[in-house]
Copies of this chain bind each other. A is one copy, B any other.
Amino acid sequence: METHKAKRVAIIIEEPMERRLTAALDGAGVQGYSILPVLGGSGRSGGWTADGQLGRSGMRQVVCIIRPERLDDLLTAAFKVVDRHMGVVTVSDCDVLRAERF
Protein backbone atom coordinates (compact mmCIF):
# COMPACT_ATOMS: atom_id res chain seq x y z
CA MET A 1 0.00 0.00 0.00
CA GLU A 2 1.30 3.46 -0.81
CA THR A 3 1.77 5.63 2.26
CA HIS A 4 3.05 9.12 2.90
CA LYS A 5 4.99 10.65 5.75
CA ALA A 6 2.91 12.64 8.20
CA LYS A 7 3.03 13.89 11.76
CA ARG A 8 0.73 12.79 14.56
CA VAL A 9 0.19 15.49 17.13
CA ALA A 10 -1.52 14.43 20.38
CA ILE A 11 -2.57 17.13 22.83
CA ILE A 12 -3.88 16.23 26.28
CA ILE A 13 -5.73 19.28 27.55
CA GLU A 14 -8.28 20.34 30.17
CA GLU A 15 -11.89 20.03 29.07
CA PRO A 16 -12.75 23.70 29.66
CA MET A 17 -10.02 24.58 27.16
CA GLU A 18 -11.11 22.11 24.49
CA ARG A 19 -13.20 24.53 22.46
CA ARG A 20 -10.49 27.13 22.50
CA LEU A 21 -7.97 24.61 21.25
CA THR A 22 -10.14 23.36 18.40
CA ALA A 23 -10.98 26.96 17.47
CA ALA A 24 -7.26 27.71 17.35
CA LEU A 25 -6.63 24.63 15.20
CA ASP A 26 -9.42 25.67 12.85
CA GLY A 27 -7.94 29.14 12.77
CA ALA A 28 -4.51 27.77 11.87
CA GLY A 29 -6.03 25.98 8.89
CA VAL A 30 -5.74 22.50 10.37
CA GLN A 31 -7.93 20.28 8.22
CA GLY A 32 -8.85 17.52 10.62
CA TYR A 33 -8.63 16.34 14.17
CA SER A 34 -10.35 13.86 16.47
CA ILE A 35 -11.19 14.22 20.14
CA LEU A 36 -10.78 11.26 22.51
CA PRO A 37 -11.99 10.92 26.08
CA VAL A 38 -9.59 10.60 29.00
CA LEU A 39 -10.89 8.81 32.09
CA GLY A 40 -8.34 9.89 34.60
CA GLY A 41 -4.66 10.33 35.17
CA SER A 42 -1.93 11.80 37.24
CA GLY A 43 0.52 14.64 36.86
CA ARG A 44 2.33 17.35 38.76
CA SER A 45 -0.98 18.60 40.11
CA GLY A 46 -1.99 15.19 41.47
CA GLY A 47 -4.36 12.49 40.30
CA TRP A 48 -7.89 12.80 39.06
CA THR A 49 -10.72 10.69 37.67
CA ALA A 50 -13.72 11.56 35.53
CA ASP A 51 -16.00 9.25 37.55
CA GLY A 52 -19.07 10.98 38.82
CA GLN A 53 -17.90 14.40 37.73
CA LEU A 54 -20.34 17.06 36.61
CA GLY A 55 -19.62 20.08 34.49
CA ARG A 56 -16.56 20.34 32.32
CA SER A 57 -13.90 18.91 34.51
CA GLY A 58 -11.30 16.39 33.43
CA MET A 59 -9.11 16.20 30.35
CA ARG A 60 -9.46 15.39 26.68
CA GLN A 61 -7.03 14.18 24.06
CA VAL A 62 -7.02 15.92 20.69
CA VAL A 63 -5.30 13.92 17.96
CA CYS A 64 -4.30 15.51 14.72
CA ILE A 65 -2.70 13.91 11.68
CA ILE A 66 -0.98 16.56 9.62
CA ARG A 67 1.50 17.05 6.76
CA PRO A 68 5.00 17.64 8.12
CA GLU A 69 5.27 21.08 6.51
CA ARG A 70 2.19 22.28 8.39
CA LEU A 71 3.45 21.13 11.78
CA ASP A 72 4.96 24.39 12.92
CA ASP A 73 1.78 26.38 12.29
CA LEU A 74 -0.18 23.87 14.28
CA LEU A 75 2.22 23.81 17.20
CA THR A 76 2.34 27.59 17.35
CA ALA A 77 -1.45 27.77 17.41
CA ALA A 78 -1.78 25.01 19.96
CA PHE A 79 0.94 26.38 22.16
CA LYS A 80 -0.83 29.73 22.51
CA VAL A 81 -3.83 27.93 23.97
CA VAL A 82 -2.02 25.40 26.10
CA ASP A 83 0.65 27.80 27.30
CA ARG A 84 -0.34 28.56 30.87
CA HIS A 85 -2.56 25.49 31.18
CA MET A 86 -2.16 21.89 32.21
CA GLY A 87 -1.58 19.57 29.32
CA VAL A 88 0.91 17.57 27.30
CA VAL A 89 1.76 18.06 23.63
CA THR A 90 3.55 15.29 21.75
CA VAL A 91 4.54 14.89 18.12
CA SER A 92 5.46 11.64 16.44
CA ASP A 93 6.15 10.37 12.94
CA CYS A 94 3.68 8.24 11.10
CA ASP A 95 2.79 7.04 7.63
CA VAL A 96 -0.64 7.79 6.34
CA LEU A 97 -2.79 6.14 3.68
CA ARG A 98 -4.73 8.28 1.22
CA ALA A 99 -2.57 11.34 1.79
CA GLU A 100 -4.49 13.22 -0.88
CA ARG A 101 -7.15 13.74 1.74
CA PHE A 102 -5.00 15.95 3.94
Mark out the residues of chain A between 1 and 55 whose CB falls within 8 Å of any chain B CB in the assembled complex: 1, 3, 6, 8, 12, 22, 25-26, 31-44, 47
Q: What interface size band does chain A fall in?
A: 35 or more
**From DSSP, what is the main secondary structure of chain A's interface residues?**
strand
Counting every copy of the chain, the complex holds 3
Q: Which residue of B lies closest to A8 (CB)?
A: B90
Contact with B along A68-102 (1 / 0, CB 8 A): 00001001100100100000111111111110010
A60 to B37, CA, bound (A): 12
Residue positions of A touching B, CB distance < 8 A: 1, 3, 6, 8, 12, 22, 25-26, 31-44, 47, 59-61, 65, 72, 75-76, 79, 82, 88-98, 101
